[in-house]
Amino acid sequence: MPPTNYHHGASITESTTGALTLQTVSTAVIGLVATATDADATAYPLDTPVLITRPQDGIAKAGTQGTLAAALQDIADQVTCPVVVVRVAAGEDATATDANVVGTTTPDGKYTGLKAMLNAQAKTGVKPRIIVTPGLDSAAVTAAMVTVMQKLSAFGYALCAGATSLAEAIAYRGTFGARELMLIYPDFLTTESTDAAPVVALTTAIAAGLRAKIDQEQSYAKTLSNVPVNNVGGISKDIFFDYLQSGTDADLLNEAGITTLINRNGFRFWGSRTCDAADYIFESFTRTAQVVKDTVGNGVFEYSDKTMHASLIRDIVESINGELQAETNAGNLIGGKCWVDASQNSGSAIKVGKFNISYDFSPVPPLEQLGLNQIFTDTYYADLATAIATANPA
């Protein structure tokens, strides 16, 4: 803009236009729905998202009844990260508790139960990206979790509810098809003291804590599988696993899209698959798609309503390409690019403020099946004979 006052010389006008650097969304934020009849009602009001910046610090007011304190401890054993807690009332029976966990919208417009997670960002300033309902994940609750996770671009973990065998777990898996969900069978065992008998742990709380830890220390592109878990001492069911043997119990579960538990150099989750059987078969595929979508989507907010010159469109494309390249350089993507397809942008559409920009990406798959070719050969016997002759000349 030219100067409005007379000045014989030069004037400088600062500008903030140009390509922006997009900020990758934070992924290590857990959303926890739990019960606790004796929790501090001021610290944990019912059906209200509450931000706990350190899960260990949230235990003091979580009471001892229900699932809240134990879930926070299982998370804290794995990681220190933000946790958004929604405390729900325990019902008179399992059906009533399920209804409280699933939640509803009250006549005055308040969200309850899992639905309260949709209001977490407005209430706490952070968006849950990892959703769990440890100890409460019935089939009805898990189905409601999926709906909430799809709206939040979040990922979650649930048990194969009610399953007591591999066959039941695999049958249960067949009732879900969401890319945002990983099912787990069986449970970890833990002990409350050195002389106590093992008890069933809140395994999905452990999964959420480990997921956040992997995000912090490695990447959202690394799956939950094959990472040591802290503070567990057993597995609730016998699961046959052999790293070099096919057809094991672990193979059957993994092939069906169920993550299982193993003990090899420490207890670990074993399996990387979601409940999707099409494109987003791996946890890393889903979470990568979520991160890219939200990072790009949120990152272009500042461009909205600016004057649509060619330079603006070029800046948007450059910003998205910069983010895709940065994620590729970090090892989180195989590759990606952004471009303008002229066929998608007619003059009539541009006239009313519409413009389409395309981008693609390839997520990083886990190395799930490694083939090693072992060959018996007599090639090296000649080398041995030569070495002997050299060491002992005639």
Q: What is the pLDDT of residues 137-153, one digit of tens each?
A: 999 999 999 999 999 99
* Predicted pLDDT of residue 14: 55
* Predicted pLDDT of residue 20: 67
Instruction: Determine whether 238 is exposed, middle or buried from the number of CB atoms within 10 Å of its CB (0-12, 13-18, 19+).
Output: exposed
Based on the domain organization, do 232 and 185 belong to the same domain?
Answer: yes
- Whether 262 has a pLDDT exceeding 80, the answer reads yes
- CA distances (Å), origin 264, targets 118, 240, 358: 38, 12, 44
- Whether 1 has a pLDDT exceeding 90, the answer reads no
DSSP annotation of 46 reads B
Structure tokens at 328: 């590729």
Based on the domain organization, do 236 and 336 belong to the same domain?
Answer: no
The answer to whether position 289 is within a domain reads: no
Based on the domain organization, do 244 and 307 belong to the same domain?
Answer: no
Q: What angle do CA 341, 342, 348 make, to 5 degrees?
A: 130
Distance CA 354, CA 131 (A): 35
* Predicted pLDDT of residue 24: 76
Based on the domain organization, do 164 and 261 belong to the same domain?
Answer: yes
The answer to whether position 293 is within a domain reads: no
- Whether 390 has a pLDDT exceeding 90, the answer reads no
Based on the domain organization, do 181 and 79 belong to the same domain?
Answer: yes
Please say whether the beta carbons of 51 and 121 come within 8 A. no
Based on the domain organization, do 339 and 204 belong to the same domain?
Answer: no
- Whether 157 has a pLDDT exceeding 90, the answer reads yes
* Predicted pLDDT of residue 76: 97
**Helices 283-299 + 310-329 axis angle, to 10:** 150
**The last residue of a domain, from among 236, 257, 284:** 284
pLDDT, one tens digit per residue, over 13-41 is 555 556 767 777 789 999 999 999 999 99
pLDDT, one tens digit per residue, over 306-350 is 999 999 999 999 999 999 999 999 999 999 999 999 999 999 999
Bin 323: left if φ > 0, else alpha if -120 < ψ < 50, else beta: alpha
Based on the domain organization, do 254 and 352 belong to the same domain?
Answer: no
Over residues 195-207, the mean pLDDT reads 89
The answer to whether position 388 is within a domain reads: no
* Predicted pLDDT of residue 384: 83
Distance CA 255, CA 175 (A): 15
Based on the domain organization, do 357 and 226 belong to the same domain?
Answer: no
Based on the domain organization, do 323 and 240 belong to the same domain?
Answer: no
The answer to whether position 311 is within a domain reads: yes
Based on the domain organization, do 120 and 217 belong to the same domain?
Answer: yes
Over residues 264-281, the mean pLDDT reads 96
Mean pLDDT for all residues in the chain:
93
Based on the domain organization, do 199 and 117 belong to the same domain?
Answer: yes
Lowest mean pLDDT among 161-170, 195-204, 271-280: 195-204
- Whether 354 has a pLDDT exceeding 80, the answer reads yes
Domain count, the chain: 2
The answer to whether position 18 is within a domain reads: no
The answer to whether position 255 is within a domain reads: yes
Please say whether the beta carbons of 287 and 245 come within 8 A. no
Please say whether the beta carbons of 78 and 212 come within 8 A. yes
Quick one: pLDDT band at residue 287, thresholds 50, 70, 90? very high
Percent of the chain with pLDDT over 90: 86
Quick one: pLDDT band at residue 56, thresholds 50, 70, 90? very high
Query: Which amino acid is residue 176, in one-letter code?
Result: F
The answer to whether position 5 is within a domain reads: no
Q: What angle do CA 7, 13, 14 make, to 5 degrees?
A: 155
User: Domain containing 266: what range?
Assistant: 30-284
CATH number at residue 220: 3.40.50
The answer to whether position 9 is within a domain reads: no
Over residues 233-249, the mean pLDDT reads 96
* Predicted pLDDT of residue 9: 56
Based on the domain organization, do 73 and 176 belong to the same domain?
Answer: yes
Over residues 231-246, the mean pLDDT reads 95
Over residues 265-280, the mean pLDDT reads 96
